Amino acid sequence: MYQIYIVDPDNFRAWTTGALSDTQLWLFDAQGNALWHNDDRPSDVVQPDQGSFHSYIGGGSAATNYYLSNATNTAAGAAGSATWGLPGPGLYYIAVSAYNRDPRDAGGGNVVYSGSPFSGIHKSNPDDPDRVVASWTGTGGTGDYTIHLQGAAFVPEPASVLALGAGLAGLVGLRRRKK
Residue pLDDT, tens place only, 100-133? 999 999 999 999 999 999 999 999 999 998 899 9
**What pLDDT is attached to residue 166?**
55
Q: What is the mean pLDDT of residues 25-43?
A: 97
Phi, psi of 59 (to 5 degrees): -80, 180
pTM assigned to the model: 0.85
**What pLDDT is attached to residue 112?**
96
Angstrom distance (rounded) from CA 151 to CA 10: 8
58 backbone φψ class: left, alpha, beta (φ>0; ψ -120 to 50): left
pLDDT higher than threshold 60 for residue 168: no
Cβ neighbour number for residue 167 with a 10 Å cutoff: 10
pLDDT higher than threshold 70 for residue 138: yes
